[in-house]
Chain A
Amino acid sequence: MHPVEVTFDALLLFSMVVLAWQGVHARNMFRAVVSFMMFGLLTAVAWVRLEAPDIALAEASLGAGLTGALLLATLGRLGPERRGPRRRRAMKLSMLPWLALGLVGTTVLLAVTLSLPAPGLGEAVLAAMPAAGVDSPVTAVLLNFRAWDTLLEIGVMLLAVIALWSLGQDVLASTSRLPAPALPALVRVLFPLFVLSTFYLLWRGGHGPGGAFPAGALLAAGLVLALLAGARVPERMRGAPLRWAVGGGLFAFLIVAVGGMWAAGAFFAYPPQHASILIAIVEIAAGLSIGVMLTALFLGGEPTEVRRGRT
Chain B
Amino acid sequence: MTVFYLAGALFLLGNVAVALARVLRGPTAADRMLSGELMGTTAVAVLLLLYGATGIEALLDVALVFAILAAMAVVTFVRRTWPEDPVDDNGGETP
Contacts and interface: CB of A to CB of B under 8 A. Distances in A.
Interface of A: 2, 4-5, 7-8, 11-12, 14-15, 18-19, 22, 26-28, 30-31, 34-35, 37-38, 41-42, 44-45, 48-49, 51, 53-54, 56-57, 60-61, 64-66, 68-69, 72-73, 75-77, 79-81, 177, 179-180, 183, 186-187, 190, 193-194, 197, 201, 204, 208-210, 214, 218, 221, 224-225, 228-229
Return the 4 tightest CB-CB contacts between A and B, nearest first.
A53-B58, A76-B80, A65-B69, A209-B58
B36 A5 contact: no
A57 B85 contact: no
B10 A8 contact: yes
A19 B88 CA distance: 19
Given A14-B17, A15-B17, A28-B89, 5 more contacts: A8-B6, A37-B36, A54-B58, A75-B81, A187-B75
B58 A66 contact: no
Contact of A60 (B26, B62, B77, B89): B62
Interface centre among B57, B75, B90 (most CB of A within 10 A): B75
B-side interface mostly: helix
B20 A19 contact: yes
B73 A48 contact: no
25 contacts: A2-B3, A4-B7, A11-B13, A15-B17, A22-B23, A30-B29, A30-B85, A34-B32, A45-B43, A48-B62, A51-B54, A53-B59, A56-B58, A57-B58, A57-B61, A60-B65, A65-B73, A69-B72, A69-B76, A73-B80, A80-B85, A190-B68, A197-B68, A209-B58, A221-B69
A76 B81 contact: yes
Interface string B74-94: 011111110111001110000
Contact of A22 (B24, B46, B64): B24
Contacts of B50: 45, 48-49
A26 B76 CA distance: 21
A65 B7 CA distance: 28
A204 B3 CA distance: 30
